[in-house]
Amino acid sequence: MKTIGKNTLSLLELVVASIFYSLPFMVQPIQSGFESLNRNIIEASFLSGKSSLVTLLRVAVPNIKPSILTAIIIHCPKQFGRIWKFVNKWFGKGK
């Protein structure tokens, strides 16, 4: 850990902060995936007696995988670059 003033900053804290920073930007592709989801498959899942959680995890999420992958591909490299730059500045070689 590197001390910055009176605070200590760990890599885990940087990653968590970066995830929270980029989360709002990842919502739009995932939201469009949910909006384009066929309502009939959701209704069929409910009619077969599945709960809301099972419907979400077993029906909705597998059908919006392209949207989730798009959000990850677009935003993760950018955030990884920011974390890497910060880590090099505070913990390593870059000044």
Q: Give the pLDDT mean for 6-30.
A: 78
Cβ atoms 70, 32 nearer than 8 A? no
Q: Is 43 helix (H, G, I), strand (E, B) or coil?
A: helix
**Alpha helices (H) along the chain:** 11-35, 39-47, 52-55, 61-63, 65-91
Instruction: Please tell me which residue, 87 or 72, carries the higher pLDDT value.
Output: 72
- The domain in which residue 58 lies consists of 2-91
> Is residue 9 pLDDT above 70, yes or no?
no
pTM given for the model: 0.65
Domain count, the chain: 1
Q: Give the pLDDT mean for 28-54.
A: 95
Q: What b/e sequence results for 17-41 when a residue is b if at least 16 CB atoms lie within 10 Å of its CB, and e otherwise?
A: ebeeebeeebeebbeebeeebeeee
> Is residue 56 pLDDT above 70, yes or no?
yes
